[in-house]
Amino acid sequence: MSQPTLSKPVYRIGFYTGIAIVVANMVGTGVFTSLGYQVLGTTSGFALLMLWVVGGVIALCGALCYGELAAALPRSGGEYHYLSHIYHPSIGFLSGWISATVGFAAPTALAAIALGRYTASVWPGAHANLLSVAVVAAITVVHLISGQVGSRFQVVVTVLKISLLVFFIGAGLLAEAQSFSFAPTAEAAQQLLQPSFAVSLIYVSYAYSGWNAAVYMAGEVEQPQRRLPRILLIGTGAVALLYVLLNYVFLRTTPINVLAGQVEIGFLSANQIFGVAVGQLMGLLIALLLVSTVSSMIFAGPRIVQTMGEDLPALRWLAHRSRRGLPVRATLFQAFLTLLFIVSGTFEAVLVYAGFVLNLFTFLTVLGLFVLRWRQPELPRPYRTWGYPLTPLLFLALNAWTLIFLLRDQTLESLLGLATVMLGLVIYAIIYALGAAKKAAVE
């Protein structure tokens, strides 16, 4: 007589583990690269710090909304899956198209460009763009050889990032301050309503960009309705506090004219706080952390492309896996696009272009929360968005504000983003027509 099989206990994410996951996904190196573009349009210390507070609110609202979608529609593919289910397969295809062409390739290019700029600051003889290209090419080759490279060190890298933030903040608070006001004056309050403030939110969103990765644990959290909002609130709040304090240190120690238009903010500020020798060491450490960012994106991005290939016969070639189970073609496709971004655009142009089109689809996804509740009220929802409907409405309002002023003030990059969306629509129409013709021929 055979022994009964004992079912393996279902793993559940605890409260503190959940907070750690949120922080690990959200803390990145974008906070060391984006302030230089914010000070071009916003000069008040109070308004500049409020950018990071508002960015944290947007990230929290977005995560709370995505958490419901992730719990109600559990399947890999993210926005591609959500939008296909909520609206139409064509909208899901467009989201997947944007993820494939922009969503991972552009942030990977941004991290690589920043890496090149930081390294060139430490070693002035280095060619920033050539170094960026070389790093992307080398890491792509490594990931094509093994899918396990780097996965064991993710915890170490996250600890290093947080330690660097805390160390920088502590040292900066003890360093000599320059004359720069953070007072909430009438002029500072007025800057909060300026178009430049809305446009600058796109630079801040780059630093908070990991928020949507953290929500996929919604179905694994113990007592999700009670615990998930607290996990997201504490995790996002902790990251926002770190970001506000770090930017306070940057502005407190480094003249605004030194920061303006620069990518290597951490290096410039470290020079002011520690002197040139230690500043170079800090710049090198940030560059090494950027290598881990490039690596994680080159690993994650092709999985979205592969999901599209599995769902769409015309893109089936992208779903191909090697004998080791690695998505080789999707990885090469993303690497090609990443290199194209590096050689064809500046850091600012790539960030605005990618930010516009990605914000457009996060807007559609959160709007889909209302659509899904209306169309499928009976759908099981292990977690429901805390603060509904105010939470999604606040997210939509802030994103719409940013998109409108991006289209007005950064017209070229925004129109290029819309053109990328339209190209995806044309490709979908061609794929649909070819599929219909093939089906008719068989019948």
369-380 confidence digits (pLDDT tens)? 999 999 999 988
pLDDT of residue 54: 94
Domain ranges of the chain: 15-435
In the structure, what pLDDT confidence band is assigned to residue 398 with cuts at 50, 70 and 90? very high
- Domain 15-435 belongs in CATH node 1.20.1740.10: yes
What contacts 276, CB < 8 A, 6 or more positions away? none
Radius of gyration of the chain (CA): 22
Most confident stretch, 1-15, 298-312, 410-424? 410-424
Question: What are the structure tokens assigned to 160, written together?
Answer: 């290093």
Distance CA 31, CA 266 (A): 9
Query: pTM to 2 decimals?
Result: 0.86
Here the contacts of 39-42 (C-beta below 8 Å, separation 24 or greater) are 39/256, 39/259, 39/260, 40/260, 40/261, 41/194, 41/196, 41/197, 41/199, 41/200, 42/191, 42/194, 42/196, 42/197, 42/200
pLDDT of residue 3: 45
Q: Are 367 and 107 in contact (CB under 8 A)?
A: no
> What one-letter code names the amino acid at 309?
G
What mean pLDDT is reported for the chain?
A: 84
pLDDT per residue over 40-80, tens digit each? Answer: 988 889 999 999 999 999 999 998 898 888 888 876 567 87
Q: Are 272 and 175 in contact (CB under 8 A)?
A: yes
Percentage above 70 pLDDT, the chain: 89
Strand ranges inside 258-338, DSSP E: none
Distance CA 13, CA 24 (A): 15
Region 93-118: what's the mean pLDDT? 87
What Cα–Cα distance (Å) separates residue 96 from each residue in 158, 375, 406?
28, 23, 23
Q: Which residue in 205, 401, 430 sits closest to 315, CA to CA?
A: 430
Distance CA 385, CA 169 (A): 33
Position 1 pLDDT exceeds 60: no
pLDDT of residue 8: 45
Please indicate whether residue 127 or residue 50 has the higher confidence score (pLDDT): 50
